[in-house]
């Protein structure tokens, strides 16, 4: 059964300078390292899906979520530790963005962790509060082997007013459960309708397994995040999403839910050809789309409104009121149609920051 | 090594060969005799001999297939031909043959056929010869050329004459025969632009997946619609662009039934506002409605004041508010 773990046949290729120890040594317990001459992003496309590259990252380790033109952004900061994913979701935006099929981890991650620690040592008013790692890869896909999350959790546990979000479609959380996190790490799960999880999310853990993992993480005191993203119109979608809400209600009752995001399926036009070539059986691109204000294909606004309204009304019935429910990359118009008001990017960021402060303040350092 | 700079003509043997014995080396549709080439040969004779390769006991034309066709059309049975020396390295042989063919310029169909031949028959040499074919830098162009070469003669002829572009040709080559032929026929009849061809193929593929049907069947059903059938029969009078637009709208509507309904409803609401022609409310056809635009055309201050009154009344209308605010579209 799929659990979202990386395939066992991964070929670990390590740039010479990282061979002796550190991340390479951790990964070498699971994979046999082979030397790799230094490569850059332009070289990534020549590697294959089974390749795991350990390379030097020459760009910034911390950067704001790229957001998207004309749509509200939540202001999350990304800690960039690698690229790519082996789960094979049929909608994965990374396929169009990255131009790389291989997994990439940054061998010089210590530099990034030092930069992150230094940033978090600044007064909270002078830096962002929320940081995530799941933008360009799954936060926990390789984590049992890389051990990166434990290092991040430790950094955040020692800082005031800072929250880390680890976002995953796996159920690989057990190695984190005994860590002293002080409530400053949110473990988030990407969730969807059961049929979408089964048919469009490749090697990701089944929905039940993700929610079971969320329950274990919640029992260990971690705040939980849920991301209904991408919401996909499919036959029986209303019943499908209601079923997921019922599962959440049953499995996560009493858990500390930090936030829940909702995002309708959207994609760069180039993604469709790539995905249909790779997964000809997927039907998600056969729906009706319009070109959004950011150039991405989106469901027509009235259909997105129906999707969001169903989820928001369902979530409000089962979640405590302090849980922030928000739309990811949506237009002011959609916010008004669904919530009756548009907070703008600033208002959304502020609401999530308030929630992050509440979570971080629960346990004194 | 530059395969052309080391060319040693003395090693090639000039022979007088029976034209009927010669086979094509490069794959191509049978070369059509060209009147100007025939006239030139009739007047001046064959200026350059054919180039021939002896391979497995058979004689294959490396360069001169069109001249052979012209000679045959003139009733000639034999022609002088230079036979390549057996020791000539394969890469040099191919490069020379390509260079000779390129002198007259290859059309996209010929380029595609040659590229596919090289890829299939000479995979190690093909990348090195690609620049000669103009396919040096673009993997996508190479892939399209390779795929397009699988088209039947009808498609290759359209590609050769620029009635079909390489990208759409490559895509159609992957379709099953009936759908491909129907699409080619449609393109021939309506001559849509490259962009529109791509759009139509997208929609047809989407529909075929969604309806578990085939592009051929969908095209057949559309063409059987009375309005489209009548328009196609009256193509001359109506004009190609009008019929093309009618067909496009029908195909779009079938691909986007929900959007179509939403847009029709919105259009009805706009019409119900009964705005004068000089006040135009522009609505986002994608329904995103990130903003609305109002365009005013007026002749002077008095006209402008009149329009302001219309706008003030408009702002108070429930229909107008519903049009701008309706979450359902």
Domain boundaries, chain A: 57-88+122-360
Contact B288 A333 (CB under 8 A): yes
- Dihedral of alpha carbons A143, A146, A151, A152, sign: negative
Phi-psi region of A344 (alpha: psi -120 to 50; beta: other; left: phi over 0): left
Is the pLDDT score of A29 beyond 70? Answer: yes
Is the pLDDT score of A140 beyond 70? Answer: yes
Average pLDDT over residues A212-240: 97
Angle at A253 (CA atoms; ends A248, A256), nearest 5 degrees = 100
Read off the pLDDT band of B6 (50, 70, 90): low
Q: What tens digit of pLDDT does each residue of A177-221 get?
A: 999 999 999 999 999 999 999 999 999 999 999 999 999 999 999
Preceding amide of A271 cis, omega within 30 = no
Contact A301 B258 (CB under 8 A): no
Which residues of A are less than 8 Å from B289 in CB distance?
Answer: 301, 331, 333
Is the pLDDT score of B12 beyond 90? Answer: no
Q: What tens digit of pLDDT does each residue of B308-317 get?
A: 999 999 999 9
Strand, coil or helix: A132: strand
Cα separation, A4 vs A209, whole angstroms: 10
Which residues of A are less than 8 Å from B208 in CB distance?
Answer: none
Q: How much is the pLDDT for A135?
A: 84
Of A49, A41, A79, A39, residue with least CA distance to A62: A79
| Mean pLDDT taken over chain A | 93
Beta carbons of A330 and A363 less than 8 angstroms apart? no
Q: Which residue of chain B is at minimal alpha-carbon distance from A333?
A: B290
- Over pLDDT 70: what percentage of chain B? 95
Q: How much is the pLDDT for A2?
A: 64
- Domain covering A57-88+122-360 in this structure, CATH number: 3.80.30.30
Contact B258 A303 (CB under 8 A): yes
pTM here is 0.87
Mutate to test the interface with B, among A289, A301, A310 (most CBs of B within 10 A): A301
Angle at A297 (CA atoms; ends A138, B163), nearest 5 degrees = 120
Which residues of B are less than 8 Å from A286 in CB distance?
Answer: 206, 209-210
DSSP string, A240-295: HHHHHHHHHHHHSTT--EEEEEEEE-EE-HHHHHHHHHH-TT--GGGS--EE-TTS
Contact B328 A293 (CB under 8 A): no
Kindly state whether A291 is in contact with chain B, defined as any CB-CB distance less than 8 angstroms: yes
Q: How much is the pLDDT for B4?
A: 45
Beta carbons of A260 and A325 less than 8 angstroms apart? yes
Angle at A40 (CA atoms; ends A39, A43), nearest 5 degrees = 75
Is the pLDDT score of A32 beyond 90? Answer: no
Q: Which of A261-265, B5-9, B237-241 has the lowest mean pLDDT?
A: B5-9
Read off the pLDDT band of B3 (50, 70, 90): very low
Q: How much is the pLDDT for B1?
A: 40
Contact A331 B290 (CB under 8 A): yes
Cα separation, A254 vs B1, whole angstroms: 75
The residue behind tokens 């229909």 is B319
Q: Which residue of chain B is at minimal alpha-carbon distance from A301?
A: B288
Q: How much is the pLDDT for B29?
A: 57
Q: How much is the pLDDT for B104?
A: 76
Structure tokens at A154: 């430790």
- Over pLDDT 90: what percentage of chain B? 65
Q: How much is the pLDDT for B180?
A: 97
Cα separation, B70 vs B103, whole angstroms: 18
Kindly state whether A292 is in contact with chain B, defined as any CB-CB distance less than 8 angstroms: yes
Read off the pLDDT band of B9 (50, 70, 90): low
Is the pLDDT score of A146 beyond 60? Answer: yes
Read off the pLDDT band of B219 (50, 70, 90): very high
Q: How much is the pLDDT for A181?
A: 94
Helix (H) or strand (E) holding B293: strand B293-296
Q: How much is the pLDDT for B101?
A: 78
Which residues of A are less than 8 Å from B329 in CB distance?
Answer: 300-302
Contact A70 B328 (CB under 8 A): no
Contact A302 B289 (CB under 8 A): no
Radius of gyration of chain A (CA): 20
Q: How much is the pLDDT for B224?
A: 95
DSSP lists the bridge partners of residue A267 as A297
DSSP lists the bridge partners of residue A193 as none
Q: What tens digit of pLDDT does each residue of A80-130 get?
A: 999 999 999 999 988 767 777 899 999 999 999 999 999 999 999 999 999
Average pLDDT over residues B267-280: 94
Residues of B with CB under 8 A from a CB of A: 206, 209-210, 255-259, 262, 286-290, 327-329
Query: Phi and psi for B147 in degrees, rounded to 5?
Result: -65, -45
Cα separation, A353 vs A331, whole angstroms: 20
Read off the pLDDT band of A364 (50, 70, 90): low
Kindly state whether A298 is in contact with chain B, defined as any CB-CB distance less than 8 angstroms: yes
Average pLDDT over residues B199-203: 97
Cα separation, A327 vs A351, whole angstroms: 12
Average pLDDT over residues B283-295: 92
Average pLDDT over residues A243-258: 96
| Mean pLDDT taken over chain B | 90
Q: How much is the pLDDT for A51?
A: 93
Q: DSSP code of B285? A: T
Q: What tens digit of pLDDT does each residue of B62-121 get?
A: 888 888 989 998 999 999 999 988 888 888 888 888 887 787 778 899 899 999 999 998
């Amino acid at each position: 059964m799929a659990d979202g773990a990386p395939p066992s046949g991964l070929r670990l290729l390590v740039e010479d300078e990282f061979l002796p120890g550190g991340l390479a040594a951790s990964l070498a317990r699971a994979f046999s390292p082979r030397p790799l001459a230094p490569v850059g992003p332009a070289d990534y496309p020549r590697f294959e899906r089974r390749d795991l590259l350990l390379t030097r990252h020459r760009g910034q380790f911390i950067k704001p979520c790229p957001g998207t033109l004309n749509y509200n952004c939540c202001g999350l900061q990304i800690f960039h530790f690698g690229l790519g994913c082996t789960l094979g979701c049929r909608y994965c935006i990374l396929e169009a963005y990255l131009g790389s099929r291989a997994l990439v981890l940054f061998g010089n991650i210590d530099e990034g962790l030092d930069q992150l620690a230094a940033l978090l040592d600044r007064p909270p008013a002078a830096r962002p509060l929320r940081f995530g790692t799941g933008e360009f890869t799954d936060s926990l896909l390789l984590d049992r082997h890389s051990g990166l999350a434990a290092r991040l959790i430790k950094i955040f546990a020692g800082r005031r007013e800072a929250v880390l979000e680890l976002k995953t479609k796996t159920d690989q959380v057990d190695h984190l459960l005994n860590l002293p996190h002080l409530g400053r790490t949110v473990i988030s799960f990407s969730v969807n309708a059961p049929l979408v999880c089964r048919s469009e999310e490749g090697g990701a853990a089944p929905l039940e397994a993700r929610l079971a993992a969320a329950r274990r993480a919640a029992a260990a005191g971690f705040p939980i995040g849920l991301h209904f993203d991408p919401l996909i119109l499919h036959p029986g979608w209303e019943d499908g999403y209601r079923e997921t809400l019922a599962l959440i209600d049953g499995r996560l009752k009493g858990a500390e839910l930090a936030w829940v995001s909702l995002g309708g399926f959207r994609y760069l036009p180039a993604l469709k050809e790539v995905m249909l070539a790779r997964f000809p059986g997927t039907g998600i691109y056969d729906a009706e789309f319009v070109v959004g204000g950011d150039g991405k294909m989106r469901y027509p606004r009235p259909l997105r409104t129906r999707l969001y309204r169903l989820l928001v009304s369902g979530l409000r019935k089962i979640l405590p009121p302090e849980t922030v429910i928000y739309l990811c990359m949506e237009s002011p118009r959609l916010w008004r149609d669904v919530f009756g008001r548009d907070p703008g990017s600033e208002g959304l960021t502020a609401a999530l920051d308030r929630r992050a402060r509440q979570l971080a303040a629960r346990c004194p350092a | 090594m530059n395969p052309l700079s080391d060319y040693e003509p003395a090693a090639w043997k000039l022979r007088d060969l029976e034209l009927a014995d010669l086979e094509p080396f490069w794959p191509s549709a049978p070369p059509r005799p060209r009147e100007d080439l025939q006239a030139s040969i009739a007047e001046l004779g064959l200026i350059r001999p054919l180039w021939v390769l002896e391979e497995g006991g058979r004689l294959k034309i490396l360069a001169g297939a069109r001249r052979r066709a012209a000679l045959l059309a003139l009733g000639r049975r034999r022609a002088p031909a230079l036979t390549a020396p057996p020791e000539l390295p394969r890469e040099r042989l191919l490069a020379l043959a390509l260079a000779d063919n390129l002198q007259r310029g290859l059309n996209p169909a010929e380029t595609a056929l040659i590229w596919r031949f090289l890829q299939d028959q000479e995979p190690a040499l093909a990348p090195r010869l690609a620049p000669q074919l103009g396919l040096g830098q673009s993997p996508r162009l190479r892939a399209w050329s390779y795929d397009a070469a699988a088209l039947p003669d009808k498609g290759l002829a359209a590609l050769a004459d620029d009635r079909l572009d390489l990208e759409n040709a490559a895509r159609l080559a992957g379709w099953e025969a009936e759908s491909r032929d129907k699409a080619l026929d449609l393109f021939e009849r309506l001559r849509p632009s490259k962009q529109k061809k791509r759009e139509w193929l997208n929609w047809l593929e989407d529909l075929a997946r969604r309806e578990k049907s085939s592009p051929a069947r969908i095209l057949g059903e559309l063409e059987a619609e009375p309005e489209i059938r009548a328009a196609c029969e009256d193509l001359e009078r109506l004009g190609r662009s009008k019929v093309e637009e009618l067909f496009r709208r029908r195909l779009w509507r079938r691909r986007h039934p929900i959007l179509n309904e939403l847009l029709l409803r919105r259009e009805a609401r706009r019409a119900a506002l009964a705005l004068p022609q000089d006040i135009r409310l522009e609505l986002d056809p994608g329904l995103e409605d990130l903003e609305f635009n109002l365009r005013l055309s007026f002749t002077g201050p008095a006209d402008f004041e009149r329009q302001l009154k219309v706008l003030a009344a408009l702002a108070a209308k429930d229909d107008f508010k519903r049009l701008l605010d309706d979450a359902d579209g």
